[in-house]
Structure 1
Amino acid sequence: MKLTIQHSCADFNSYRAARVKSLFNVESGANFSLDAELDLDSAPWSLGVIVGPSGSGKTSLGRALWGAGAVYAPSWPADKPLIDAITPEGSFDDVTTALASVGLGSVPTWLRPYPVLSNGEQFRANLARLIAEAPARAVLDEFSSVVDRQIAQIGAGAFAKAWRRTQGRAVLLSCHYDILDWVQPDWVFDTATGQFSRGWLRRRPRIDVELWQTGWEHWPAFEPHHYLKLPRMIAATNYVASVAGAPVAHVAVSTRPGLAEARACRLVVMPEWQGAGVGLRFLDAVCERWRQGENRYSKPMKTLFHTSHPGLAAALRRSAKWTQVSANLVGDDRARSMQTLQASAARKGKPGVHGAGHGGHFRAVQGFRYLGEPLCG
């Protein structure tokens, strides 16, 4: 496919314009032309990138490729939260999955309208909406230009994985070359050199994660991003994942009565790292430690994990290391929980806490058990 761009505007002859032409030996700034050969039909593809410096013709090429109507520029309502603004007639689960797949997994953010979000959140919200709508063709202009580079790279990688599942075609227009390793595009056209290349030979950058056993001292930094407001777990062992010394994920592990099984809770991944695959790897690593008996009890235990997060539940179902063991539409009976806690306190000769109890909500909770690597053969 050959694309030819020809733009022109008025040739001004004011004093300052004439002086610029004289100083820099420029005859005119009125004309812009660009020819691009894009070999798009020789092999199947899902994601392409047109990259190059500002003013080099990326937007013009994007419009010329499939027409201006293919350039994705959604209008967002100011009076609806994200969860209502994205495909209102579509499936709730599809919307939450799209939000989680691009790293916008912080549930409180789903309840805010688009205009109040940060630049990074708006960037990911646009990607989530595109994935949920899943058009056959889309062009994304200024891709990742308004966010810091870490969010851009992690977000680009998360979007690429999710977009390929839609089976559509998307072209990203960007002035940043640092996203290419994360996107792993099927083809790239560089407007700076005029070079078209198919495939991307370099691997996605490796994320080296360190795992630390801690107390609750790091929890205050993670707590605002957890979707529930609950007291700290009793007798828990805490773990924090870090990348280059910066904390990126947290989980706490306690035990069920009689040390029959471990129970993991309070899993949080910092927003700028959501979508990078860090959270599930981190949870797997902690649960594997407990399965191997690397805990304060030196006892091998399987781990139970409960979540209401649709995206995380879907990821756990896809993993061969986990099996689903429960799915409750609503929480437990709060009155019964209060009676149980009061009776337990009485047996121990301790005063019960008035009004203390769990349940009584309409939150769907799904339970999973960590099994580890599946047996081969």
Structure 2
Amino acid sequence: MNINIHHQCTDHDSYRSARIKSLFNVEQGANVHINADLPIEDDDWQIGVIVGGSGTGKTSIGKKLWPRTPIHNPKWDKTKPIIDQIAAEGSIDDATACLSAVGLGTVPAWLRPHHVLSNGEQFRANLARALADEPNRLVIDEFSSVVDRQIACIGANAFAKAWRRTKGKQAVLLTCHYDVLDWLQPDWVYDTSKSEFTRGSLWQRPPITFDIYQTNWQFWHLFEPHHYLKMPLMIAATNYVAVVNGKLVAHIAVSTRPGLIEARSCRLVVMPEWQGAGIGMRFLNQVSEHWLNAENRYDKPLRTIFHTSHPNLAAALRRSTKWTQISGQLHGGRASRSTTAAGGKYGGHFRAVQGFRYLGASCD
């Protein structure tokens, strides 16, 4: 595919225009020529990236790629939360799946209009809309340009994984940032700054390693705003945090069932900028494996049970060979059936709760 672009505007002759031409020895600024050779006519690819500095023709090329495919620019109703505007013609499960797929798993954010979200949340919400719209061809301009680079890289990785599951659909992302390439692992890249086309598996996602530390509730206030429940703290819980390069990225608390017959974990939270990187499940699995191997304060091997209302986390647990589902109920128990030491009451909520038991790493 050869793309030849010629932009032309009026060649102004004002005093300042003439002065600039004279100072910098520029004849005129009215004509722009762009020529790009992109051999992408075959359908054997899903993600392509056009990258380069500002003003090198990325947007112009993106507009010319597929004449009937405009650059993706979702419109958001300021009077409605984003959960009502993603997969609006589908089910709520479709909407939550798209949100979780791009790493926007913070449930409270789903209940807010798009314009009040943070830049990072808006970035991921736009990607969720792109997934929900299910276009056969997609062009996104300024991909990851206005967000923190950590969020950009993790969000790019989450989107790439989700888009590849669409099978047969093609997306071209336009960006001025080279740091997302390894996280996207695109099938091809065209660099407008070098007029260079590259194809093949040349980009590899950097590994994400984290350390796990045992603690107490001292860090919970940092994670609580991103958890979907506001409940009393668990009694006699052992807390754990996952840390990447000195940054807190995930939290979980583990208590025990009466009689020390099983462990019970909850309050699993991954910080928004790390959602979509697969840290949550790895963290939950590692902590559960520690308890199964008697690496706990009781020096006793205990299987872990875990309950969640998050539909996509539940789906991930069902797919895992390390977990088995043990329950599924439409609402929580009566608030009067269990109380905290401080007199607070659990239960009384109306939400779908699904329970799982950890089987162990040997079940892979």
TM range (shorter): over 0.9
Bigger radius of gyration among the two: 1
Asked if residue 371 in structure 1 is aligned to residue 359 in structure 2, the reply is yes
Aligned partners of 2:293 and 2:301 also within 8 Å: yes
Deviation at 1:373, TM superposition (A): 2.4
What SS is found at the alignment partner of 1:159?
A: helix
Aligned to 2:141: 141
Q: List structure 1 segments (4+ residues) > 3 angstroms apart after TM superposition.
A: none
**Which whole-Å CA distance do the structure 2 matches of 1:358 and 1:250 have between them?**
21
User: TM-score normalized by structure 2?
Assistant: 0.96
Aligned to 2:219: 218
> Which stretch has the larger CA shift, 315-324 or 73-82?
315-324
Aligned to 1:328: 329
Deviation at 1:317, TM superposition (A): 1.3
State the Cα RMSD in Å: 1.6
What SS is found at the alignment partner of 1:217?
A: helix
What SS is found at the alignment partner of 1:218?
A: helix
Number of corresponding residues: 363
Aligned to 2:272: 271
**Which whole-Å CA distance do the structure 2 matches of 1:30 and 1:187 have between them?**
32
Asked if residue 31 in structure 1 is aligned to residue 31 in structure 2, the reply is yes
What SS is found at the alignment partner of 2:332?
A: coil
Deviation at 1:69, TM superposition (A): 3.9
Letter in 1 for 2:132: A
Asked if residue 189 in structure 1 is aligned to residue 190 in structure 2, the reply is yes
* Equivalent of 1:358 in 346, 349, 354: 346
Report the CA distance shift for 1:68/1:23 in structure 2 as closer, same or farther (over 3 A): farther
**Which whole-Å CA distance do the structure 2 matches of 1:314 and 1:101 have between them?**
12
Asked if residue 173 in structure 1 is aligned to residue 170 in structure 2, the reply is no
Aligned partners of 1:320 and 1:374 also within 8 Å: no
**Which whole-Å CA distance do the structure 1 matches of 2:348 and 2:308 have between them?**
16
Aligned partners of 2:231 and 2:346 also within 8 Å: no
Asked if residue 11 in structure 1 is aligned to residue 21 in structure 2, the reply is no
Instruction: Trace 1:254-269 onto structure 2 (pairs within 5 A).
Output: 254-269=255-270
Runs of 5+ unmatched residues, structure 1: 346-351
Deviation at 1:43, TM superposition (A): 5.8
Percent identity over the alignment is 63
Asked if residue 231 in structure 1 is aligned to residue 219 in structure 2, the reply is no
Aligned partners of 2:266 and 2:306 also within 8 Å: yes
Deviation at 1:224, TM superposition (A): 1.2
Letter in 2 for 1:372: G
Asked if residue 115 in structure 1 is aligned to residue 115 in structure 2, the reply is yes
**Which whole-Å CA distance do the structure 2 matches of 1:86 and 1:75 have between them?**
11
Deviation at 1:207, TM superposition (A): 1.3
User: TM-score normalized by structure 1?
Assistant: 0.93
Aligned to 2:158: 158
Aligned partners of 1:49 and 1:188 also within 8 Å: yes
Runs of 5+ unmatched residues, structure 2: none
**Which whole-Å CA distance do the structure 2 matches of 1:195 and 1:139 have between them?**
20
Aligned to 1:348: none
Aligned to 1:248: 249
> Which stretch has the larger CA shift, 313-322 or 247-256?
313-322
Letter in 2 for 1:101: A
What SS is found at the alignment partner of 2:65?
A: helix
**Which whole-Å CA distance do the structure 1 matches of 2:217 and 2:335 have between them?**
27
Aligned to 2:71: 71
**Which whole-Å CA distance do the structure 2 matches of 1:62 and 1:201 have between them?**
22
Deviation at 1:310, TM superposition (A): 1.0
Aligned to 2:306: 305
Deviation at 1:54, TM superposition (A): 0.7
Aligned partners of 2:69 and 2:139 also within 8 Å: no
Deviation at 1:333, TM superposition (A): 3.2
What SS is found at the alignment partner of 1:178?
A: coil
What SS is found at the alignment partner of 2:217?
A: coil
**Which whole-Å CA distance do the structure 2 matches of 1:86 and 1:310 have between them?**
16
What SS is found at the alignment partner of 1:121?
A: helix
Aligned partners of 2:49 and 2:174 also within 8 Å: yes
**Which whole-Å CA distance do the structure 2 matches of 1:217 and 1:41 have between them?**
56
Aligned to 1:98: 98
Letter in 2 for 1:36: A
Aligned partners of 2:232 and 2:346 also within 8 Å: no
Aligned partners of 2:309 and 2:354 also within 8 Å: yes
Deviations 1:251-290 (A, max 9, x none): 0000111111100011111111111111111111100100
